[in-house]
């Protein structure tokens, strides 16, 4: 296994070099991390947080969605009020900008596959083929038993929308939330909307990889096997590994495997696109393109 920890670099004429590779490569494997959704406008603090969680921030003092997700709320009714908003705006609303659509237009004519640690469903909303996607860390749109008594997940769109409306929110034609004039949202949901496992009666939880309770259902294994088969099928071909917004929270899922593939396969170009974290190890530097900048702006330039 490689590899010395690299220093941050930015390849000279990186965008022009990537345009040339895109033109001459038919097979693309996209590895996407949280930085891609951040570039699409899915931020977890600041104005977006205040718009949907200002009441929780005022009551409890946390200043971003992630911190709120760990807060010990006073009741399950309040917990699910928070989490239903969290899930709705990050799963069922469209991203604030068109980055995912632009990315799809850039690679839709290629033989592609996507592996991602993101859980916001943005690839499918942009038109990516579900059979060419592997969501390794779960999906905000799925529930599971909190202490899994069985390996199955459940779609949550209907119950999440009921929780949202129970707090006083309305949903406009674009899918955004709004409140009637002079109306403050309720910070709780009715007890009858709290989700329980249909098998054992325990509370349900989000299907997110946080510990050893994460459920990998048949769909998860089918998607991962699809990724493995895609790699096997194309290992002797000319391949572009397009890494987008992948940091160091879980590098063993995308980044390190991409580095190893680049080292081991003969005809591979590795691209690292990330703002402030664009680099490649020295061992694969000659096969790498590193673009240190805003992903949205970079994809825009690639389109032109």
Identify the residue whose tokens are 């496992």: 197
Which pLDDT belongs to residue 9? 66
Helix (H, G, I), strand (E, B) or coil at 234: helix
Number of CB atoms found within 10 A of residue 296's CB: 19
Give per-residue pLDDT as tens, 21-65.
Answer: 999 999 999 999 999 999 999 999 999 999 999 999 999 999 999
**What is the spatial order of strands in the sheet that 111-116 belongs to?**
133-135, 111-116, 27-32, 239-244, 268-273, 288-291
pTM for the predicted model, two decimal places = 0.94
Q: Burial, 263: exposed, middle or buried (Cβ in 10 Å; 0-12, 13-18, 19+)?
A: middle
Torsion of CA 41, 43, 45, 47, to 10 degrees: 10
Number of CB atoms found within 10 A of residue 115's CB: 24
Tell me the domains of the chain and their CATH numbers.
Answer: 14-39+96-136+217-303 (3.40.50.1220), 46-94+157-194 (no CATH)
Number of CB atoms found within 10 A of residue 1's CB: 6
Query: 175-184, 198-207, 248-257, 260-269: lowest mean pLDDT where?
Result: 175-184
Specify the pairing of strand 111-116 against strand 133-135: parallel
Which pLDDT belongs to residue 182? 73
Using 50, 70 and 90 to split pLDDT, how confident is the model at 284? very high
């Amino acid at each position: 296994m490689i590899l010395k920890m690299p220093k941050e670099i930015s390849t000279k004429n990186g965008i022009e070099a990537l345009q040339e590779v895109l033109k001459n490569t038919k097979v693309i494997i996209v590895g996407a991390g949280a930085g891609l959704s951040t570039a699409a406008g899915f931020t977890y603090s600041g104005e977006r947080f205040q718009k949907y969680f200002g009441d929780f921030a005022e009551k409890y003092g946390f200043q971003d969605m992630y911190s709120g997700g760990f807060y010990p709320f006073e009741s399950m009714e309040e917990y699910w009020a928070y989490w239903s908003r969290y899930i709705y705006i990050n799963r069922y609303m469209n991203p604030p900008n068109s980055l995912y659509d632009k990315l799809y237009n850039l690679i839709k004519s290629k033989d592609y596959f996507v592996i991602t640690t993101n859980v916001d469903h943005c690839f499918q909303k942009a038109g990516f083929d579900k059979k060419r996607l592997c969501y390794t860390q779960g999906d905000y749109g799925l529930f599971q038993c909190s202490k899994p008594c069985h390996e199955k997940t459940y779609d949550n769109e209907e119950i999440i929308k009921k929780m949202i409306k129970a707090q006083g929110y309305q949903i406009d034609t674009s899918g955004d939330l709004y409140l009637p004039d002079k109306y403050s949202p309720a910070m709780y949901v009715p007890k009858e909307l709290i989700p329980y496992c249909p098998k054992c009666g325990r509370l349900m939880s989000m299907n997110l990889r946080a510990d050893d309770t994460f459920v990998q259902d048949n769909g998860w294994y089918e998607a991962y096997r699809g990724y493995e088969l895609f790699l096997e099928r194309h290992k002797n071909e000319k391949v572009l590994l397009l890494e987008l917004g992948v940091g160091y929270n879980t590098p063993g899922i995308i980044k390190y495997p991409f580095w190893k593939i680049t080292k081991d396969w003969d005809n591979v170009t590795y691209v690292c696109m990330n703002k402030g974290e664009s680099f490649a190890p020295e061992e694969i530097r000659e096969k790498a393109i590193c673009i240190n900048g805003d992903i949205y702006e970079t994809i825009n330039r690639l389109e032109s």
